[in-house]
A and B are shown apart, each in its own frame.
Chain A
């Protein structure tokens, strides 16, 4: 992430005089990722010394007008109003960090992308005509330039603090794009899939959670989204052939909190169509 580039310009001089302004924005989401900022119990007050909390509705009724130096954006875009609002957030923000699975991969609500949203609305609401929603739930980066993405459903405190710290020091956050398997090895967790026959998305899921689920004896359910260059179709074939997982269950496993992430969405669509992970003849 970049601080204002021209160190002698009026913007940079103003930035030196004041603390960088932080804004936290919510789109369609559960609040859990912005709550993670308030969950930084040991660091919160120190952070508030370094940053001016200019817009953070969950924490403050005081609203400081933009522009903002750093915007954290939670949630996915699911309504016509949000389509407009995200453009305004981008215009007002020097740096935009999308936080969490909704903002980076649509979230659980992006399951609607392969369903009929009108039918969903009729199921939940007696008067669906009162609603004004889009047919899809999409990540922030589909609408505006995003400077950095934090994965996870929810994000972790550690990654959030690293990202904010990196912003304050004018460097890029240091995160790997390796898979959860590597975190299991580091943690010393015995592989749940190899030793217990438990279906696990760890091999294709990005690390960052600390390999939490295998440490609790269950398979990873992919809440940090796809790792870099994952071979999802191969893993799903393995689930079916070696572990006896039903084809429909592999589709469901890929369609959860990061359902709109291309690597998961494409593999799920191919398997859904052919009943065979990886598509016809795979």
Chain B
């Protein structure tokens, strides 16, 4: 206690668990006031944007995939689309659809990983899915089976699940054969029910009552639920193409972090949120009827502002991705050509796509010989970080009656709501709650 009778508390998690990458959380509370909340990203910087300079325009899909082993397809898709934009290359609908199939695989495996192995244990009071497996092995098995189907899709289209080898600027090196793709029909068909069961399961969890008011930002397309294409829209009137992204979003380097924070220019605070909650809330009408019904049955409205329910939204998106993958598999015929011809030229191009955890933007400037002059990459976690920190401050303030251990765990859970990828944002998670005297 201090002279003025106010207690000072410090909560901290030195190394956050069940997130992708390395980071820490610090919370400092004086009396009933949360003085400071920080997500420290101490994942070491690897300088990808600088290392890309001087490399050939053909290399970013392989090099930027290595930013994140959990969402390599997001990096491959955003990078090839940005470079195709710079080179004036258009891809055929067949190629775009094959990209979407590969992307469905990544959504399924990444979401299943997060739902079952990273996030669900928090709702069930378990330290890990391995602990959960001791009391409910069939549940964990179900999650692993679902995850495996996603990996299978990635292996058929991309060659392997982590860092696929088949993606190139203009399309693919080889289009998989009809029979290779057809082999996915059985597993995907079985995964439909597993995915539906998953939505029911997580829909039955207990969610802390908490709502945020951040601006939602996601891609939106005239027909599809957004994955590899669309315009960037927000619930406060943004509607733009990739070339306008940097006019609207500014990246700032923050002291306690090896990541850059993105904010929307001209807004009072500028924090915004991208990822499943935003995608869902801005694109409910683009989901399949079955996914919409599953969402309603699980108690979700057409918009969702409780980050703890992001686990339900992820499950709904997983169901959608399984359905979408199955539809593409069923109508698949190998395209006449696996990709468009690509000729280097000087240019500047921008591209984006919806990584499982949110919008991923790339921009490249190329010299006449196709070598890279400049690369800019804005990953989802750096866009979300400011919103995560502000949510955490409000969340803690309402729960100061909890002891440090309980409060710290709830803070970790609150961070995991956003499926932060610290490898992407330069990776993060240790938590530290300080209550100062």
Interface residues of chain A, those whose CB is within 8 Å of chain B, are: 26-36, 38-39, 41-42, 44-45, 48, 53, 56-62, 78-79, 81-82, 107-109, 111-112, 115, 117, 119-121, 123-127, 130-131, 133, 137, 153-154, 209, 212-213, 215-218, 221, 223, 249, 252, 256-257
Residue pair B166, A252 in contact (C-beta under 8 Å) = no
Give Cα A62–Cα B409 distance, bound, in whole angstroms: 11
Residue pair A30, B68 in contact (C-beta under 8 Å) = yes
- The stretch among B42-50, B212-220, B263-271 that forms the contact with chain A is B42-50
Instruction: Indicate whether A126 sits within 8 Å of B253 (C-beta atoms), given known contacts A39-B162, A133-B44, A256-B63.
Output: yes
Residue pair B423, A126 in contact (C-beta under 8 Å) = no
Residues of chain A within 8 A of B141, CB atoms compared: 45
B424's closest neighbor in chain A, by CB?
A: A30
Residues of chain A within 8 A of B127, CB atoms compared: 60-62
B161's closest neighbor in chain A, by CB?
A: A39
Q: Name B70's contact: one of A32, A42, A218, A257 (CB within 8 Å).
A: A32
Q: Name B18's contact: one of A59, A108, A117 (CB within 8 Å).
A: A59
Give Cα A26–Cα B430 distance, bound, in whole angstroms: 14
CB distance from B276 to the nearest CB of A (A): 20
Give me the 3 closest cross-chain CB pairs, A-B, nearest first: A32-B69, A60-B128, A61-B17
Chain A CB within 8 A of B38 CB: no
Residue pair B67, A252 in contact (C-beta under 8 Å) = no
CB distance from A244 to the nearest CB of B (A): 15
Residue pair A78, B44 in contact (C-beta under 8 Å) = yes
CB distance from B326 to the nearest CB of A (A): 20
Residue pair A108, B163 in contact (C-beta under 8 Å) = no
**Pairs A–B under 8 Å by Cβ, sample size 28:** A28-B46, A29-B69, A30-B69, A33-B69, A38-B113, A39-B147, A41-B145, A45-B144, A57-B15, A57-B17, A57-B22, A60-B129, A61-B17, A61-B127, A78-B46, A79-B44, A108-B63, A109-B47, A111-B51, A112-B51, A121-B45, A125-B45, A126-B252, A130-B258, A153-B163, A216-B174, A218-B165, A221-B62
Chain A CB within 8 A of B358 CB: no
CB distance from B121 to the nearest CB of A (A): 8
Residues of chain A within 8 A of B46, CB atoms compared: 28, 78, 108-109, 137
Residues of chain A within 8 A of B137, CB atoms compared: 45
Residues of chain B within 8 A of A53, CB atoms compared: 128, 130
A45's closest neighbor in chain B, by CB?
A: B133
CB distance from B50 to the nearest CB of A (A): 4
Q: Name B144's contact: one of A41, A56, A82, A117 (CB within 8 Å).
A: A41
Most A C-beta atoms less than 10 A away, residue of B42, B45, B161, B173: B45
B427's closest neighbor in chain A, by CB?
A: A31
A220's closest neighbor in chain B, by CB?
A: B165
Give Cα A212–Cα B161 distance, bound, in whole angstroms: 12
CB distance from B414 to the nearest CB of A (A): 14
Residue pair B70, A31 in contact (C-beta under 8 Å) = yes
Residue pair A61, B128 in contact (C-beta under 8 Å) = yes
Residues of chain B within 8 A of A112, CB atoms compared: 47, 51
Chain A CB within 8 A of B354 CB: no
User: How many residues does chain B have at the interface if contact means C-beta atoms less than 8 Å apart?
Assistant: 70
Give Cα A60–Cα B172 distance, bound, in whole angstroms: 37
Give Cα A228–Cα B409 distance, bound, in whole angstroms: 48
Q: Name B21's contact: one of A31, A79, A249 (CB within 8 Å).
A: A31
Instruction: Indicate whether A130 sits within 8 Å of B255 (C-beta atoms), given known contacts A30-B69, A31-B427, A39-B151.
Output: yes
Give Cα A36–Cα B140 distance, bound, in whole angstroms: 17
CB distance from A74 to the nearest CB of B (A): 9
Chain A CB within 8 A of B53 CB: yes
Residue pair B67, A30 in contact (C-beta under 8 Å) = yes
Residue pair A216, B159 in contact (C-beta under 8 Å) = yes
- Mark each residue of chain B from 20 to 64: 1 if its CB lies under 8 Å from any CB of chain A, else 0: 111000000000000000000011111111110101100100110
Residue pair B159, A212 in contact (C-beta under 8 Å) = yes
Q: Name A59's contact: one of B56, B129, B412 (CB within 8 Å).
A: B129
Residue pair B173, A131 in contact (C-beta under 8 Å) = no
Residue pair A61, B161 in contact (C-beta under 8 Å) = no
CB distance from B340 to the nearest CB of A (A): 15
Residues of chain A within 8 A of B45, CB atoms compared: 121, 124-125, 131, 133
CB distance from A64 to the nearest CB of B (A): 10
CB distance from A193 to the nearest CB of B (A): 14
CB distance from B406 to the nearest CB of A (A): 13
A131's closest neighbor in chain B, by CB?
A: B45
Give Cα A82–Cα B45 distance, bound, in whole angstroms: 12
CB distance from B294 to the nearest CB of A (A): 23
Residue pair A216, B166 in contact (C-beta under 8 Å) = yes
B160's closest neighbor in chain A, by CB?
A: A212
A125's closest neighbor in chain B, by CB?
A: B253
CB distance from B422 to the nearest CB of A (A): 9
Give Cα A30–Cα B68 distance, bound, in whole angstroms: 5
Chain A CB within 8 A of B349 CB: no
